[in-house]
A and B are shown apart, each in its own frame.
Chain A
Amino acid sequence: AQTVTQSQPEMSVQEAETVTLSCTYDTSESDYYLFWYKQPPSRQMILVIRQEAYKQQNATENRFSVNFQKAAKSFSLKISDSQLGDAAMYFCAYRSVTGTASKLTFGTGTRLQVTL
């Protein structure tokens, strides 16, 4: 079974600065999908960014980008020009391409604080 580890329970960043959230995973599969979700205080789960393992190029969505290191099984999220609205829980998630259920395996999350 796959596992996802987020080793930083909490992180803090100043407004306008850059922060990187870490995620590692364990799998024996060669192709899979990886996601970062944001959960603000409203509790709504919001997709931030996605990456397919066979793609070498790191995904980017505006101020959010990932550093995907397949050999190291690492999938970190970089937030540039941090804003107060970025304060939230961030979850890394893994999805297999095999099987029929499209299930997600989540990490335990990193709480991001954004300070003035």
Chain B
Amino acid sequence: QLQESGSGLVKPSQTLSVTCAVSGGSISSGGYSWNWIRQAPGKGLEWIGYIYHSGDTFYSNPSLKSRVNISADRSKNQFSLQLTSVTAADTAIYYCARLTSRDAFDIWGPGTMVTVSS
């Protein structure tokens, strides 16, 4: 199971932080990557990036890449997303999801809503 938590309201230009707690398995287990995906209100899904079980990270398109950091805390079996210099366009539900070796997001968290507003 995956469960997101984070800053529900963030001011413009500040840093958004969300964490995904993983239960029922270890994020250090081989064969999986741990992903962040977001969905703006009324819009579709946008993949942000992942951290691999080895600790390697990979981020999405250039418009986000420069502002994104994904990290893991293996002692707590959780991984986190930080997004800097946020604007209203970053307002979204943020989901964490596990990606299998067959490129399937097989487990999702329920999502956490983050609103960027002054």
A and B assemble together:
no
Q: Which residues of A contact B (CB under 8 A)?
A: none
